[in-house]
Amino acid sequence: MYLRRIGSDMSIPYCSVHERLFVRQKDAWMNWSQDYVSMVKHICDTFDSANISFSDYEVIESPCDLCIEIARQILHQQWEKLGLRQ
């Protein structure tokens, strides 16, 4: 999921499969529970109801570094089965 400001290009990827959030300040994926994301969404909804500009964020699903690595490994295994090399 992404925590993204509507009308802005600032998005924060979140993977609910592995419960990981990409933190741009650290340029790294961090463990981040779904409970915490739900709490952030609630806070944003609260700000939205108060018409505070910070409230224009939404959560959207995104593959994390672990998802990408798993997909890469599967792809390489399939290439090896077909006799292809990268």
Q: CA-to-CA distance for 71 and 52, rounded, in angstroms?
A: 40
Instruction: State the CB neighbour count (10 A cutoff) for residue 23.
Output: 13
Does the predicted TM-score (pTM) go above 0.85? no
pLDDT above 90 coverage of the chain, percent: 31
Domain positions in the chain are: 2-82
pLDDT at 54: 52
Q: Which helix (H) or strand (E) holds 4?
A: strand 2-5
* Per-residue confidence (pLDDT) for residue 32, from 0 to 100: 86
Taking the C-alpha atoms of residue 44 and residue 74, their distance in angstroms, rounded to an integer, is 38
